[in-house]
Amino acid sequence: MWFFYGTQNGLRIKSWGRPSNGFVLGVDFRQVVMNNVQNPIVRDQNYCPGNEGCPNQNSGVKISRVTYKDIKGSSASPVAIKFDCSAMSPCRSIGLHDIKLTYQNKPADSFCRKIRGMAWGVVTPPSCL
């Protein structure tokens, strides 16, 4: 079991928002407890700090077959699950299984862009896959 307490990010995969090559394939995140984490589950394929050197560009990194299972706890922000994938290389085959993340003792929100996948079991916040 993994624990995150008051961190900025929990389970994160990021790539720069500019032309690039590479892949992330076959990653399983399992049995994680979040406590007041700013971004419990975050996928950012458009990472561009300060919009310098990469604004309005797309990552070419391919992300697929990533599973999140048995992730529980609290988010420090309203959006607990954020999947911001690239228009050039959308995320594929992403799975959410038995997720329960809250914000201020209520269900949190999720955000999805350019992603395909499925959710099963109990998933809170509601899946946007």
One DSSP character per residue, 28-97 reads EEEEEEEEEESEEEEEEEEE-GGG-S-TT-----EEEEEEEEEEEEEESSSEEEEEE--SSS-EEEEEEE
**Residue type (1 letter), 57:** Q
Mean of pLDDT values over 21-47: 96
* Residue 109 pLDDT exceeds 80: yes
Q: What is the dihedral of CA 62, 26, 45, 32, to 10 degrees?
A: 180
Q: pTM of the entire structure?
A: 0.93
The span from the CA of 68 to the CA of 30, in Å, is: 6
Model pLDDT for residues 6-27, shown as the tens digit of each residue: 999 999 999 988 888 899 999 9
Q: Does residue 54 surpass a pLDDT of 80?
A: no
Query: What's the mean pLDDT when you consider all of the chain?
Result: 94
Name the percent of the chain lying above pLDDT 90: 78
